[in-house]
Amino acid sequence: MAFGRLEKPAGHRPMSDINVTPLVDVMLVLLVIFIVAAPVMASRLALDLPQADVPAASAGPADA
């Protein structure tokens, strides 16, 4: 009597572990995108905008 003949061979079991290589690849690409995009988002364009000449408003409503 042969023991273990009724069991499935080890090579025919479904793969139950997660392949982390694609996950690491995606995370590294996202990291590079954020590293490149961060200085672009932080830099601002310096503009000399004209100032409007608005007279100072009185403290209360005008009684006329």
Question: Any idea what the Cα angle at residue 10 is, between residues 7 and 13, rounded to 5°?
Answer: 90
Dihedral over alpha carbons 20, 26, 32, 37 (to 10 degrees): -140
Q: From first to last of its 64 residues, what are the pLDDT tens digits of the chain?
A: 556 566 666 667 787 888 899 999 999 999 999 999 988 877 777 788 888 887 766 666 665 5
pLDDT digits (tens, 9 = 90+) for 13-24: 787 888 899 999
- Neighbouring C-beta atoms of residue 47, cutoff 10 Å: 5
pLDDT value, residue 17: 85
